[in-house]
């Protein structure tokens, strides 16, 4: 189980889209649960990252071809869920994904939106989050799948870099995670620097930072765009699959 965290607006969902896309292109069937961002925006981001070129202003025929290539080559599926959801419903959808589509990687974006704010005291929210994390960990172990969770940090001082202690909630989230990554923004330099920092790595142990060079026009961290291949015959591509 992997936890990705970072301050608001740093680009966690955009990074997670490309992170999951890279794994899916390597043959890892992936199930996306987007509980904060509308699914259409996640799909648009994924297709633009897959294309590696700006899709604005939109050219319908070109977007259709990229969507066809995406659906034919990328094993990504989407939960038909949004906003706060019950633990039972989410686990049921994950079960269907593993059973019917051979899903090996599940993305939860993000944990706090999935659980909802609720009206209880902080301790009750922490207990609910800890219970959910425990269930996700048990599911991943039982089914042999990897679960990546996007989680908000606590509110920190402006300009302060995040650490494991910055994770929102009780200690269960950091204890159960195999890997913890932070998308950091260092504003202390003349040109603000964005980088990914691995602060926990249970099995390999390697920790450290890697600078990120973000291409806003492509919503991508990749160095090069890919080539669009248009077939000689018209092809009908399937719709992106969701789970009821």
Contact 129, 122 (CB under 8 A): no
Mean residue pLDDT across the chain: 87
Residue 162 has pLDDT above 80, yes or no: yes
Helix pair 12-25, 39-51: axis angle to 10 deg = 60
CATH number of domain containing 15: 3.40.50.300
Domains in the chain, number: 1
Strand partners, 82: none
Say what the alpha-carbon torsion angle 113, 1, 98, 105 is, to the nearest 10 degrees.
90
CA-to-CA distance for 60 and 39, rounded, in angstroms? 19
* Residue owning tokens 């039972």: 88
| 97-137 pLDDT tens trace | 999 999 999 999 999 888 875 545 555 778 889 999 999 99
Average pLDDT over residues 222-235: 57
Residue 9 has pLDDT above 60, yes or no: yes
In terms of residue numbers, what domain contains 138?
2-243
CA-to-CA distance for 81 and 39, rounded, in angstroms? 9
């Amino acid at each position: 189980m992997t936890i990705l965290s970072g301050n608001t607006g740093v680009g966690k969902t955009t990074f997670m889209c490309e992170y999951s896309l890279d794994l899916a292109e390597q043959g890892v069937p992936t199930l996306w649960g987007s509980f904060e961002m509308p699914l259409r925006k996640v799909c648009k981001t994924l297709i633009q990252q897959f294309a590696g070129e700006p899709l604005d202003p939109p050219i319908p025929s070109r977007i259709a071809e990229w969507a066809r290539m995406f659906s034919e080559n990328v094993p990504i599926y989407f939960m038909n869920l949004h906003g706060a959801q019950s633990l039972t419903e989410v686990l049921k959808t994950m079960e269907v994904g593993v059973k019917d589509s051979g899903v090996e990687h599940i993305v939860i974006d993000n944990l706090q939106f999935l659980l909802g704010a609720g009206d209880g005291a902080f301790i009750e929210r922490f207990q609910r989050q800890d219970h959910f994390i425990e269930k996700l960990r048990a599911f991943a172990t039982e089914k042999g799948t990897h679960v990546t969770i996007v989680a908000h940090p606590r509110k920190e001082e402006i300009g302060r870099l995040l650490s494991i202690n910055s994770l929102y909630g009780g200690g269960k989230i950091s204890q159960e995670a195999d890997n913890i990554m932070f998308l950091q923004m260092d504003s202390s330099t003349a040109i603000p620097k964005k980088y990914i920092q691995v602060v926990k790595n249970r099995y390999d142990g390697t920790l450290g930072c890697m600078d990120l060079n973000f291409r806003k026009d492509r919503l991508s961290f990749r160095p090069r765009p890919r080539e669009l291949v248009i077939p000689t015959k018209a092809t009908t591509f399937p719709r992106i699959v969701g789970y009821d």
